[in-house]
Amino acid sequence: VTPVSSLAESWKDLLARARSKQLKPEEYSSGTFTISNLGMFGVTSFKPILPPGCAAIMSVGASKPTAVPDGNGGVKIEKQMTLGLAADHRIVYGAQAAEFLRDLKEIIENPYQLLV
């Protein structure tokens, strides 16, 4: 298992090299999981299209203020975002894809659990 800190450093390096168009073809042509982030353009929700040969693709929408119950009979405003997932069911069972999204939601909402 790769530590989150190592993943973060690798991700930072890949992003920097992608933005400066310095990635090698083997670094972007053989992935099995894709992330499509239209949230950075203000799109709040969309359905990703699975690229050929890819096991799954996750869509990331922009966060937006949303009214939610506060637990005391009132309402509070929280930022929420939408994630979507399309998977090739020949490779990934639907239940596993749902569990992945559930676990990712838990990590996003409680990031400190990664430190324990």
- Write out pLDDT tens, residues 83-114: 999 999 999 999 999 999 999 999 999 988 87
89 is catalytic: yes
pTM of the model: 0.73
Annotated active-site residue in 89, 103, 107, 111: 89
Q: Which residues pair with 94 in a beta bridge?
A: none
One-letter identity of residue 111: P
* Tokens linked to 56: 């799954």
